[in-house]
Amino acid sequence: MPKITVAHSPDSDDAFMHYALARHKIPTGDIEFDHVLQDIETLNHRAATGTYEVTAISIHAYAHLHERYALLPHGASMGENYGPMMVARENYDLDEIKKQRVAIPGELTSAYLALKLFAPNIETVAMPFDEILPAVARGEVPAGLLIHEGQLTFGDEGLHNIIDLGKWWASETGGLPLPLGGNAIRRDLGEDLMKRTSSLLRQSIAYALENRDEALDYAMEFARDMETRRGLADRFVGMYVNQRTLDYGDDGRRAVQLFLDRGFEAGIIPHRVPVVFAE
């Protein structure tokens, strides 16, 4: 019996996406699935050694992993005119913020790549993504780059949204979505197992979208700072799990290639990467 470990972050959107597999809502035939939950930067680094058969990764990290993994055509988190936010206690203008030290959720994250495309010389310090918002609120760093639920809750701490990098990217690219995360599958599984695994993962996303209330009930167990705010959690899940998650779409695929191409041209990614999807 093939055993597939699916690694993803402990966030409400990823939980929503994988609900049907985690709670055995769809038949999986002879494939057994295990789930491992870790923060995205840990997953980025573990993918470098092929630790998991299927893993969530940052699109930025894919540039360093493409020989071992292929991107699945589903499971994407795309910012549709929204994305990682740079927040601060002071309401800096864009020239001022580029002179500040910014906390980031890791140098392999797509948030970091977008930030460096926006401000190539900005000073950064890495910390776990869920420690960034409180660190900014306490004044330990002047600014922080928020991913996940903090994009909706930063105002509770009296912080200012200095720039939304998803909006910035859309303005730079004629409205393309900002590629943030994707699901990747190890190439050495072979074509048949890759295809069957991919089909089941897509079915899990489709099940959640078609059975939203029960999938959201499950996702609420992972909704940091929104445990009693179902409407806000539903909004966050909808931002990053939607029809785009079922398939990148032609413009989404173009956006992934352009994002990595611009990272290479800016000297952030060491080589040009041809993006390969596991069809």
Q: Given this model, what pLDDT does residue 228 score? A: 61
- Same topology between domain 3-78+177-265 and domain 85-173: yes
Place of tokens 């959720």: 105
Alpha helices in 146-190 (DSSP H): 150-153, 165-173
CATH topology of domain 3-78+177-265: D-Maltodextrin-Binding Protein; domain 2 (3.40.190)
The CATH architecture annotation of domain 85-173 reads: 3-Layer(aba) Sandwich (3.40)
Q: Is the pTM of this model over 0.85?
A: yes
Structure tokens at 154: 């930063």
Q: With the C-alpha atoms ordered 53, 59, 65, 71, is the resulting torsion angle positive or negative?
A: positive
Written as one letter, the residue type at 184 is: A
Number of residues assigned to the chain: 279
Query: Residue 155 burial (CB < 10 Å; 0-12/13-18/19+)?
Result: exposed
Q: Mean pLDDT across the stretch 113-130?
A: 96
Distances (CA, A) of 133 to 4, 47, 102, 127, 140: 34, 26, 11, 10, 10
Q: Given this model, what pLDDT does residue 12 score? A: 87
* Model pLDDT for residues 33-69, shown as the tens digit of each residue: 999 999 999 999 999 999 999 999 999 999 999 999 9
Active site residues: 148
Structure tokens at 76: 């994407």
CA–CA separation, 21 and 124 (whole Å): 37
Domain boundaries defined on the chain: 3-78+177-265, 85-173
Task: Give the 3-state secondary structure of residue 164.
Answer: strand
Task: Give the 3-state secondary structure of residue 186.
Answer: strand
Q: Given this model, what pLDDT does residue 34 score? A: 96
Q: Mean pLDDT across the stretch 143-169?
A: 90
Determine phi and psi for 180, rounding to 5 degrees: -115, -65
- State the pLDDT confidence band at 173, using cuts at 50, 70 and 90: very high
Structure tokens at 117: 């495309």
Q: Given this model, what pLDDT does residue 227 score? A: 59
**Rounded percentage of the chain residues whose pLDDT exceeds 70:** 98
CA–CA separation, 182 and 62 (whole Å): 9
The shares of helix, strand and coil residues in the chain, as percent rounded to the nearest 5, are 45, 20, 35
